[in-house]
Amino acid sequence: MARAAVFDVDGTLADTNHLHVVAWWEAFRQAGHRVAMHDIHRSVGLPGRDLVAHLLGDDRDTRRDGALEAAHKALYATYFDRLPAFDEAGDLLRALAGDGWRVVLASSAGGSELAALRRAIDADDAVSATASADDVEEGKPAPEPVEQALALAGVPASDAVFVGDTVWDMQAASRAGVRAVGLLCGGIPRTALEAAGAAAVFDDPADLLAQIDDSPFAGPA
């Protein structure tokens, strides 16, 4: 029976959330907005346009949203040649693929950004498909990215497990009817992940790999 292991990338497999925070903070600063890094951190994982709306509110000048997104992308791109993967992230993907899981990435990144992340993780041999920001109309917490990943894997929600690091990830998986596993390495508290729908929470990819037999990956999805 086919099973799908669906993974978020930023903050889950790659240690990039705080790089996004700094890039967004600088983009906001350049545009004349004072936004606390803590607030930006809690918003990472949303698509760029949604993150801007979430942090600046409905009374902002929406005509400047595109410029903010472009500034963030340009600033974040300076890290592309040195994005850090979490320890054993690639090993985790290979272990699941070796056990018969169809590993699918479901990322809010796309294009050159996603390519840089995949180079950092260095486990393309274990990845069967990728659902990127380029493939969906609505990002997390909408279920569409997870549903797209399931369609690519050819697996129903009942035979899948989703792994992510933000409340948006947990909400997207729950709305798609997929069991969610939360990782703390993105910096979001365990209680927040559990409240958003996480069925289990681990420290990071290495911790999940070490406890794989006691995780939702141990039995039938």
Q: Is 59 exposed, middle or buried (0-12, 13-18, 19+ CB in 10 A)?
A: exposed
pLDDT at residue 1 tops 80 = no
Percent of the chain with pLDDT over 70: 99
DSSP β-bridge partners for residue 14: 10, 85
Confidence of residue 220 (pLDDT cuts 50, 70, 90): low
Task: Quickly count: other Cβ atoms within 10 Å of residue 122's Cβ.
Answer: 12
Mean pLDDT of 199-206: 98
Query: Is the pLDDT reported for residue 110 higher than 90?
Result: no
Domain-wise residue ranges, the chain:
3-15+84-214, 17-78
pTM score of the predicted model: 0.96
Tell whether the model's pLDDT for residue 68 goes beyond 60.
yes
Write the CB contacts of 165 (distance below 8 Å, at least 6 apart in sequence).
Answer: 8, 10, 11, 12, 17, 45, 182, 183, 184, 185, 186, 187, 188, 193
* pLDDT tens digit sequence for 144-172: 999 999 999 999 999 999 999 999 999 99
| Sign, CA torsion 149/126/207/203 | negative
Strands 198-202, 3-7: parallel, antiparallel or unpaired by DSSP?
unpaired
In the predicted model, what is the mean pLDDT of residues 44-63? 95
pLDDT tens per residue, range 6-37: 999 999 999 999 999 999 999 999 999 999 99
Mean pLDDT, rounded, for 85-106: 97
Class for domain 3-15+84-214, per CATH? Answer: alpha beta
